[in-house]
Structure 1
Amino acid sequence: MAGHRTEDHPHGADRLCDAGDRVYSRAVRRGRVAREDAERVPCLLELALLHPDPDDMDWLVPTSPQEVMTRLLRGVYDEVTASHGRVGSAVAAVEWYAGLGGRVQASAASAEGAGAAIRVLDGLSRIQAAMDEATEACTTEVLTVQPGGIRREDELTEGLHRALALRGRGVRMRDLYTHVARHGQGLLNYLELMGDTVEARTLDEVIDRLILFDRTVAFIPANSDRTMALELRHPALVGYLLTVFERLWRLAIPLTAPLPDTGIEGISHREQSIAALLAEGHQDAVIAERLGISVRTCRAHIARLSETLGAASRTQLGVRIAQVGLDGPPRPAGPQVASVILPDRGSPTAR
Structure 2
Amino acid sequence: MTEWCAEGERLYAAALRAGRIARKDAETAPCLMEFALLHPDPDDPNWLRPVLPAVALSRQLGPLEYEITQRRRLAVELAETFQPFLALGTQVTSTSDSITVLEGGERINAALNMATAQCRTEMLTVQPSDRMSERSLLRGLERDKPLIERGVRIRTLYQHTARYNPEQLAYAARLSEGKAEYRTIDELVERLIICDEAVAFIPARDDQQVALELRHPGLIRYLIKLFEYLWDRAVPLSTGKPYEAALDGITEIQHSIAKLLVEGHVDEAIARRLGMNVRTCRAHIAKLATALGSGSRAQLGYLIAQSGILEQEG
- Common fold, TM-score beyond 0.5? yes
User: Structure 1 stretches of 5 or more lacking a match?
Assistant: 1-79, 332-351
Q: In the TM superposition, what whole-angstrom CA distance separates every residue of 1:196-229 from its partner, at most 9, and x where no partner exists?
A: 2210111001231000011100011010101011
For residue 266 of structure 1, report the CA deviation from its aligned partner.
3.6
Q: TM-score, normalized by length of structure 2?
A: 0.74
Q: Structure 1 residues 164, 107: CA separation in 2 closer, same or farther (over 3 Å shift)? A: same
Q: In the TM superposition, what whole-angstrom CA distance separates every residue of 1:166-206 from its partner, at most 9, and x where no partner exists?
A: 12211110000101101222222222221222101110012
Could you tell me which amino acid in structure 1 is paired with residue 117 of structure 2? E
Q: Is residue 254 of structure 1 aligned with residue 254 of structure 2?
A: no
Number of the residue aligned with 1:130: 111
For residue 267 of structure 1, report the CA deviation from its aligned partner.
2.2
Q: Is residue 206 of structure 1 aligned with residue 188 of structure 2?
A: yes
Number of the residue aligned with 1:320: 303
Could you tell me which amino acid in structure 2 is paired with residue 222 of structure 1? A
Distance in structure 2 (CA, Å) of the matches to 1:273 and 1:193: 30
Secondary structure in structure 2 of the residue aligned to 1:174: strand
For residue 270 of structure 1, report the CA deviation from its aligned partner.
1.6
Secondary structure in structure 2 of the residue aligned to 1:85: helix
Distance in structure 1 (CA, Å) of the matches to 2:151 and 2:63: 32
Could you tell me which amino acid in structure 2 is paired with residue 250 of structure 1? D
**Mapping 1:264-303, distance limit 5 Å:** 264-303=247-286
Q: Structure 1 residues 258, 235: CA separation in 2 closer, same or farther (over 3 Å shift)? A: same
Could you tell me which amino acid in structure 1 is paired with residue 272 of structure 2? E
Distance in structure 1 (CA, Å) of the matches to 2:141 and 2:181: 16
Could you tell me which amino acid in structure 2 is paired with residue 259 of structure 1? K
Secondary structure in structure 1 of the residue aligned to 2:205: coil
Higher helix share: 2
**Mapping 1:78-93, distance limit 5 Å:** 83-93=64-74
Number of the residue aligned with 2:155: 174
Distance in structure 1 (CA, Å) of the matches to 2:156 and 2:265: 27
Could you tell me which amino acid in structure 2 is paired with residue 285 of structure 1? E
Q: Structure 1 residues 112, 83: CA separation in 2 closer, same or farther (over 3 Å shift)? A: farther
Q: TM-score, normalized by length of structure 1?
A: 0.66
Distance in structure 2 (CA, Å) of the matches to 1:84 and 1:116: 35
Distance in structure 2 (CA, Å) of the matches to 1:99 and 1:109: 17
Could you tell me which amino acid in structure 1 is paired with residue 144 of structure 2? A
User: Structure 2 stretches of 5 or more lacking a match?
Assistant: 1-60
Q: State the Cα RMSD in Å.
A: 2.3
Match of 2:209 among 227, 230, 233: 227
Does 299-308 or 174-183 show the bigger shift?
299-308
Distance in structure 1 (CA, Å) of the matches to 2:182 and 2:62: 43
Could you tell me which amino acid in structure 2 is paired with residue 99 of structure 1? E
